[in-house]
Chains A and B, each alone.
Chain A
C-alpha cells in the first residue's frame, strides 16, 4: 500500500486497483474549519486533474482535483453530516472518495511522501 501526493495537496492511498483520495493534514490546517463538502457522484468518470469534489471552510471554497484518471466507486457520506472529519482525521475518517484507477502509470507520476514534505516545508 503506497500513498502518493499532488502539488495541490491531495493524497491518494493506493489499495490494489483502488485509490482513496483526501486532502493532506497540511491542507486541512491551511484551510481551517471545514463546514461543507460537495462529494462526487458514484460512477463519475474523472480524468486526471478534473474537479472531483469541493471542500468549503468558513471563508473559502476549494476544489479537490482527481490525482489520477478513473471512476468514482465510493464516497465518504459521513462527511455530509460531519465535514469536520477532514480536520480531525484527514488521512483516515476524513477521506473523501475512492476511485478505480484507470491507469496505474499515472500513480508513478505523483509525489512520494518525501517530495511532498519538501514542498510544504
Chain B
C-alpha cells in the first residue's frame, strides 16, 4: 500500500509516527498528545491531523456542535504606528497607508474593531498570501494582521520592509491561536466569556479572561459561525481546557479543518492560491475593495482591472465529482476530452457524502451546470460545475436594525 495522489499530508497520514525532530510545537502540544492526537508535520509544526474520533466524526461535530482547533501555527501579528499623533482617525489613516500599497483591500475604511479578508499581491497581481486585517478597537494606528503559516516568514518580511521605521510589526505567533467553530460556538462563548459572544461577524476585540488578555475575532475557516482566539502561550492550555469542559466542544484536527474549508468553498493558500493566481481568477473579486478599484492603486492593478472587465483566462470553480475523489493536480477535461484546467483542491465532503473539488477552468466552462470530466488514475470521471460554497455558510448575520 502506497500513498499516491498529491494531497498535502498523505505521507504523514501513513507515517503517523514520523519523527518530530526539527518540528516546532505549539503551546497545545501536550494537550494534543493527551487527547490521542495523531501528530503530523504541517507547515514546520507538529500538529494533530485528527484525534481518536477521526476526520469524518470531527467534521460532522463541527457542523452540528462546536469544534476546537489549534491554529497556533498561523501568523498573528500587530502592526503599530511608531509615532502616533493621538488623533485616532489620522493615526488609522497613517497605518492604513503603510499596508494598503501591498494589498487590494480598503484598510483605511475599516471601523474600529472591524476585520477584513484581503490579499497580499505581487507586482503582477498574483497572490503572495491571503490574510485578515483588523483595525484595533482600542489603539489608534494599530492593525491586527493574521497571515498563513507556510507564508508567514515572507509575509512578515514584506510588511516590515514596507513599514520601515514608520511602524513596528510585532509577531504574536509565539502564543496560542485557537478556533472555536460551529453552530454552538456562540453559546459556548456566552458561557466562558459573555462579552466576546456579542461580537459581530468579522469584528474583533480584546478581552480579559481569568487574568489573561485575549484577542478574539468572530471569524473562521469552516463556513460556520465561530471565533478565533489569540492567547499568550501559557494561557493557551488553560483556555483549551476551559472550552473543552463544555460538552458541546470537541477537539478537531487539521484533516477536518481542510474538509470543512473545502465544503465552504474557501481557498487554501499554496493550493488554490499562489503567486500566479490573481484575486479575480480566484473568484475573490469581493476582496478588491471598491475604493481601491476606482483608484487602481494596488499591485497588479492593470491586470486585475482588465480581468475584472472580462479579460480572464481562467477562473476558480467548484465541482462535484462522481466516484473517486479528484485530488490536487487532476486534469479537468471538457466533453470532447480536451484538457481545459486542473483541480487545485479535492476530497470527500463528509456533509454531502460525495467528492468535491476546487479547480481552474476557462470562464467559458465555468457556468454552474456545465458537464465536464476529471482524470483520476488515468480514467475519466464525470464532474459538474456547481456554485460554491458547496455547503451554505452559516456566519452570524446581525440585522441592520434590531
* A and B: bona fide binding partners: yes
Docked-complex contact A59 and B1, CB < 8 angstroms: no
Docked-complex contact A27 and B1, CB < 8 angstroms: yes
Q: Contacts A60-B5, A62-B3 given: A36-B324 contact, CB under 8 Å?
A: yes
- B258 an interface residue at 8 Å Cβ cutoff? yes
Q: Contacts A58-B55, A60-B5, A63-B1 given: A32-B348 contact, CB under 8 Å?
A: no
Question: Given the complex of chains A and B, what is the CA–CA distance between A36 and B327 in angstroms?
Answer: 13
Residues of A within 8 A of B50 (CB): 32
Residues of A within 8 A of B255 (CB): 32, 58-59
- A95 an interface residue at 8 Å Cβ cutoff? no
- B33 an interface residue at 8 Å Cβ cutoff? no
Q: Contacts A58-B56, A59-B49 given: A9-B1 contact, CB under 8 Å?
A: yes
0/1 interface trace, chain B 348-360, chain A, CB 8 Å (1 if under): 1010000100000
- Chain A interface size, under 10 / 10 to 19 / 20 to 34 / 35 or more: 20 to 34
**Interface residue tally for chain B (C-beta within 8 Å):** 29
Question: Given the complex of chains A and B, what is the CA–CA distance between A6 and B59 in angstroms?
Answer: 32
Interface centre among A10, A23, A30, A58 (most CB of B within 10 A): A58
Majority secondary structure, B binding face: mixed
- A54 an interface residue at 8 Å Cβ cutoff? yes
Question: Given the complex of chains A and B, what is the CA–CA distance between A64 and B1 in angstroms?
Answer: 4
- A61 an interface residue at 8 Å Cβ cutoff? yes
Question: Given the complex of chains A and B, what is the CA–CA distance between A58 and B255 in angstroms?
Answer: 8
Docked-complex contact A59 and B355, CB < 8 angstroms: no
Output the nearest chain A residue to B55 by Cβ-Cβ distance. Answer: A58
Docked-complex contact A32 and B13, CB < 8 angstroms: yes
Least CB distance from B197 to A in Å reads: 31
- A65 an interface residue at 8 Å Cβ cutoff? yes
- B77 an interface residue at 8 Å Cβ cutoff? no
Question: Given the complex of chains A and B, what is the CA–CA distance between A6 and B2 in angstroms?
Answer: 12
Output the nearest chain B residue to A8 by Cβ-Cβ distance. Answer: B1
Residues of A within 8 A of B14 (CB): 30-31, 60, 62
- Residues of A3-50 contacting chain B, CB below 8 A: 6, 8-10, 23, 27, 30-33, 35-36, 38
Q: Contacts A33-B56, A54-B377 given: A59-B9 contact, CB under 8 Å?
A: yes
- A56 an interface residue at 8 Å Cβ cutoff? yes
- B325 an interface residue at 8 Å Cβ cutoff? yes
- B54 an interface residue at 8 Å Cβ cutoff? yes
Docked-complex contact B16 and A61, CB < 8 angstroms: no
- B4 an interface residue at 8 Å Cβ cutoff? yes
Docked-complex contact B5 and A35, CB < 8 angstroms: no
- Residues of B318-349 contacting chain A, CB below 8 A: 323-325, 327, 347-348
Docked-complex contact B55 and A33, CB < 8 angstroms: yes
Residues of B within 8 A of A58 (CB): 55-56, 59, 255, 259, 347-348, 350
Docked-complex contact B2 and A63, CB < 8 angstroms: yes
Question: Given the complex of chains A and B, what is the CA–CA distance between A60 and B4 in angstroms?
Answer: 8
Q: Contacts A61-B3, A65-B2 given: A31-B327 contact, CB under 8 Å?
A: no
10 contacts between A and B (CB under 8 A): A6-B1, A30-B14, A33-B54, A35-B56, A58-B259, A61-B4, A61-B10, A61-B327, A62-B2, A62-B14
Q: Which residues of chain B have a CB within 8 Å of any CB of chain A? A: 1-5, 7, 9-10, 13-14, 16, 49-50, 54-56, 59, 255, 258-259, 323-325, 327, 347-348, 350, 355, 377
Q: Which residues of chain A have a CB within 8 Å of any CB of chain B? A: 6, 8-10, 23, 27, 30-33, 35-36, 38, 54-65
